[in-house]
Amino acid sequence: MERLLAAELILELADQGIRISDWDDLDDDQRKHLDELFEREIFPVLTPLAVDPTHPFPYISNLSLNLAVTVRDSKRSMERFARVKVPPLLPRFLNAAGSETFVPVEQVIAAHLDSLFPGMTIVSSHPFRVTRSADQAIEEDEADDLLKAVEELLQTRHRASKMVRLEVDETMPEPVLDLLMQEMGIGHDQVYAHTGLLALAGLTVLTSLARPDLLHRPWQPTTQPALTQFEPGHTIFDRIKQQDILVHLPYESFGSSVGAFIAAAARDPHVVAIKQTLYRTGVQDDPAAGGEQSIVKSLTAAARSGKQVVVLVELRARFDEEANILWARLLEEAGVHVVYGVAGLKTHAKVALVVRREGDGLRRYAHIGTGNYNPKTARLYEDLGLLTADEAIGADLTDLFNMLTGFGHEPEFRCLLVAPAHLRGALIARIRAQADRGAKGRITLKLNHIADREIMDELYAASGAGAHVDLIVRGICSLVPGIRGMSENITVRSIIGRYLEHSRVFRFGDGGKAEYFIGSADLMERNLSGRVEVLVPIKDRRLRTRLEELLRVCMADDRLAWQLDGETWEKIPTMSGINAHVRFQALAHGRSQGALPDPDTAADPAEVVIVAAGGIVTKEAKTGTEVLVVHRPRYGDWTFPKGKLDEDETLAEAALREVLEETGYECDLGPEIGMVEYRDRTGGRKFVHYFGMSVTSGSFTANREVDKAKWLTPDEAAERLTYARDRALLRSWISSV
């Protein structure tokens, strides 16, 4: 990350006029502006804390940014240590004189330390921060009140949580580092020295700049016709009763689907009960907490109107405990029955049940999803949710909520797969069924994490029996694909892009007999044995086709996808230009216009693309490494040698051939450096894969494609290159070698 930031991102931002600058590189006007800002906004909130026999080493809070300062007292001929905490209320980066130049706040503070330590000589200052463990156990068997126990835990976490990491600037002097380690009681294996900035999350300030040319194209989530086109007098319940509805966030709207479902239940005079789980709710000042999107607001309104409302709030959702306690108290004050789950288990399931009086009886409506009931994350996380009036699912959820709110063992469910009692066994049975099919067996799983040993052993066995196993894993993957005789039939890929992949999809089999499930569970020991999780079968053939469409797009993606090769993640080469997130936007737009799912065409390229390959060619000269750049008379530009792939040619073969044809140089092939994308002069999309190369023989002869070739130092080459994309690629390559 540090190399990427320093060698590519900061330099590419500078090419666009946005600069992350050091204090020493500012001009006089910029420094004057920040001097005034410091005196007015920063100095009054700083507190220097000395460390000496009368001032013990201060407590360092989790993830706070600090300066370790050494000062010299000339009167007493001694050096002293002090800590200056950067208050979290300060911006991480400060704007210099209204420009698009930003300076780390700790550097501005460091430049004014003489104001904090008058009469002292500033010897050195270096940033550092610590990470504290959030893992603190609650002895539930000994706790009479779980809510009170969690509140007490939160009070002690800030002061008593164990320190697990110390991050420092690599230039920090050894005596200062030794002092920090001694006072914090940590060893060298817990120290991480950085060459660049700390607390990089603060870079999100750049996304607020008025630079739409550098941001993702805005996306307005769509709404399916099934959730908008109601007949007079009909409601969302009438539509759900007619057909199951599958919602794909953030491509489709949370507010007009899940939010509208709960809001309608709160308003509807025929609804008699609402039961729901809440795992991560979000903070109360979230702008999305108002209006119809607010799940909590709907639930409190329902309770005040006399409906039976039961909410299971998971108080132990890590880092959301305080928010969840606030929401729990608010719900209780409104008359909601709030419960806190099953002793010894976290309730991670995302389920809601609405009971509605219709005619002479009651009908149950349900939502089961993969993501939290949180309107803020619903704009950033990719998730799925099922709205259904299926009687078996409704009956299963009734039994589940009775188990969660009362006493009793986990019942036998009709169709839901529920952890911890039944889910593991149900998954193993389905994996073995596909293993029994041999080479005809098919398993596709889309997950956040997979690390459960028993499940992985079953997948290895299925692969060994000939079954094909495709995994799409966003996070932790402890399974190793491609091991001969063990996992050669397993592929693992990960999609990393604009949205966080969060949905869990399970497919066993293929064709019309395939089983599909969605739900909250990952394949981790904690999910299968230590949490209440729910997977729901997708029964509607139309919705199974939707899931098949989703899986095929994920498997066809070559813009955002990475593939696990043994124990190494490698970027999948871009050949067709399919970006899953862009494709899902297009599919959602199509659904809003009434289009039906079609897995056979969903992964087709949206337009014709040109795939090319080339090389950054280097040689060693007396003055150091030199880079070859070429001039193309047809375009009047300076670039690297490259060209389109011939039929059945690999990227590496094309790169070597093009370099030879355009420059006359024979080369040894090095690693693939990266890929650049742009639209050529005809408007077509072009993807060029570049490899590092070193010259072995040959000489340049001018030709129709290239009339000039020059060997330049990397800095000279960067100056000569016409395109910013080429300069960025060169910087990345040079920094890596």
- For 142, residues 6+ apart whose C-beta sits below 8 A from its C-beta are none
- In one letter, which amino acid is 314? E
Q: Are 353 and 276 in contact (CB under 8 A)?
A: yes
Radius of gyration of the chain (CA): 30
Q: Is the dihedral of CA 18, 20, 23, 25 positive or negative?
A: negative
- In one letter, which amino acid is 652? A
Closest Cα partner for 265 from 299, 224, 312?
Answer: 299
The rounded distance, in Å, linking the Cα atoms of 116 and 114 is 5
The rounded distance, in Å, linking the Cα atoms of 491 and 468 is 8
The rounded distance, in Å, linking the Cα atoms of 396 and 404 is 12
Q: Are 553 and 542 in contact (CB under 8 A)?
A: no
Instruction: Evaluate the omega torsion of the peptide bond into residue 420 and state whether it is cis, within 30 degrees of 0.
Output: yes
Three-point CA angle 375, 381, 386, nearest 5°: 75
The rounded distance, in Å, linking the Cα atoms of 530 and 533 is 9
Q: CA-CA distances (angstroms) from residue 291 to 255, 287, 375? A: 9, 9, 11
- In one letter, which amino acid is 650? T
Phi, psi of 508 (to 5 degrees): -125, 120
Closest Cα partner for 173 from 193, 203, 156?
Answer: 193
Instruction: Label the pairing between strands 361-369 and 468-473.
Output: unpaired
DSSP string, 503-520: --EEEES-GGG-EEEEES
Catalytic residue set: 348
Q: Are 690 and 615 in contact (CB under 8 A)?
A: yes
DSSP 383: E
The rounded distance, in Å, linking the Cα atoms of 290 and 624 is 62
Phi, psi of 71 (to 5 degrees): -120, 155
Q: Are 426 and 393 in contact (CB under 8 A)?
A: no
Residue tagged 């119809």 (tokens): 292
Looking at 373-497, which runs of residues are DSSP E strands?
Answer: 381-388, 417-419, 442-447, 468-473, 490-495
Tell the burial category of 257 from Cβ atoms under 10 Å away from its Cβ (0-12, 13-18, 19+).
buried
Helices 146-160 and 321-333 cross at an angle (nearest 10°) of 150
The rounded distance, in Å, linking the Cα atoms of 510 and 441 is 8
The 3-state DSSP class for residue 576 equals coil
Phi, psi of 333 (to 5 degrees): -65, -25
Element at 672 (helix H, strand E): strand 665-679
State the alpha helices, DSSP H only, in 98-213: 105-110, 113-116, 146-160, 174-184
- For 561, residues 6+ apart whose C-beta sits below 8 A from its C-beta are 493, 494, 495, 554, 571, 572, 580
Burial state string for 313-335 with b = 16 or more CB within 10 A and e = fewer than 16: bbbbbeebbebbbebbebbbebe
Q: Are 650 and 657 in contact (CB under 8 A)?
A: no
Instruction: Evaluate the omega torsion of the peptide bond into residue 605 and state whether it is cis, within 30 degrees of 0.
Output: no
DSSP 38: I
* Separation of first and last alpha carbons in the chain: 16
